[in-house]
Amino acid sequence: MKRTAVLGVLVGALMTGTVWAQGATPLPLDRATVSSDVAKRTLMKGQISATVARQIVDACIDFARNQQGGPGNYSIFVLAPNGDIVDAHVMDGVLPIGVETGLLKAKTALYARTPSSAVAQRFNNVDGRLIRLDLGKDSGLAYYFVGGGLPIVVDDQLIGAIGVGGGNMDEQCAYQALTKVLGPQPPLPAPAPPAGGAAPGGGRGGRGQ
C-alpha cells in the first residue's frame, strides 16, 4: 500500500511538473541567506550564507570530478551582492589566468545581473566591448565577455554570483552546482555563433578560460 501511494504521488508530481532531475524543491530564501543574527552585525540580510556558498563550491568540484571526458580543473568563486568573496576554491592544475577569469566572470554576472555568456552575446563586436571594458571597475566589478559567470537568485532576490574559470565546461559547472544546491535554475542562454571574429561566449564545450 505504501509503495502504491508513493508511486501515485510521484506520477501526480511528474504530471504537474513539480519533480526535477536535481534538487527535490527549491531552497527557500531564508535558508540560502545569512541568519538574522549575522544581519544585525552586517546590516545586510539578502546575502548568500557561507554554508550555502561552500555547498555550491563543493557541488562544482563534484561536477568537475565526474564530468564526461574525464576530470576537469576549475577555479570557483562565490561572491556576495557587494562583491566580497564568500567562498572560493582553486583545483589542482588551474593556470593563473583561469583563476583571474573565474573571479572576473563572477563580477560580470553580479554587475550585469545576467550570465556572463549573455553579456558576451549582447556585446559581440570589438567596438561594443571596448567601450565597456572599464565599466564597473571603480566599484570593484567588471565586464568579462566569456561564459562561466551566473547570478545567484532565490525567490527573485539576487543573493550573490558564481564565477568558474580555467576549465572546458565552466558554465555547466556553475549551472549544475546551483541546480544541485538551490533547485531548478532558469535555462542558460542558447549558444550563439561568434560575430565579427569575436571569441565565443564559451565555457560549455571548448576551453574558454
Confidence of residue 7 (pLDDT cuts 50, 70, 90): very low
pLDDT bin (cut points 50, 70, 90) of residue 4 is: very low
Residue 9 pLDDT > 60: no
**Residue 15: pLDDT over 70:** no
Please give the pLDDT value at position 12: 37
| Per-residue pLDDT at 144 exceeds 70 | yes
Burial class for 90, CB neighbours closer than 10 Å (0-12, 13-18, 19+): middle
Q: What percent of the chain has pLDDT over 90?
A: 67
The pLDDT of residue 39: 94
Report the half-sphere exposure of 194 (CA within 13 A, side-chain side).
12
- Output the CA–CA distances (angstroms, integers) from residue 138 to 80, 100, 116, 127, 134, in the order listed: 17, 18, 19, 21, 8
> 73 CB contacts (<8 Å, ≥6 apart)?
64, 91, 92, 93, 94, 98, 166, 167
Mean pLDDT in residue range 89-98: 97
Burial of 112 (0-12, 13-18, 19+ CB in 10 A): buried
More confidently predicted of 156 and 136: 156
Q: Note the pLDDT of residue 131.
A: 85
Global pTM reads: 0.81
List the end-to-end C-alpha distance of the chain, in Å, as a whole number: 53
- The span from the CA of 16 to the CA of 82, in Å, is 38
User: Stretch 114-119: mean pLDDT, rounded?
Assistant: 96
Give the pLDDT score at 136: 82
149 in Cβ contact with 79 (< 8 Å): no
Q: Burial of 111 by CB count in 10 Å (0-12 exposed, 13-18 middle, 19+ buried)?
A: buried
In whole angstroms, what is the distance from residue 46 CA to residue 162 CA?
16
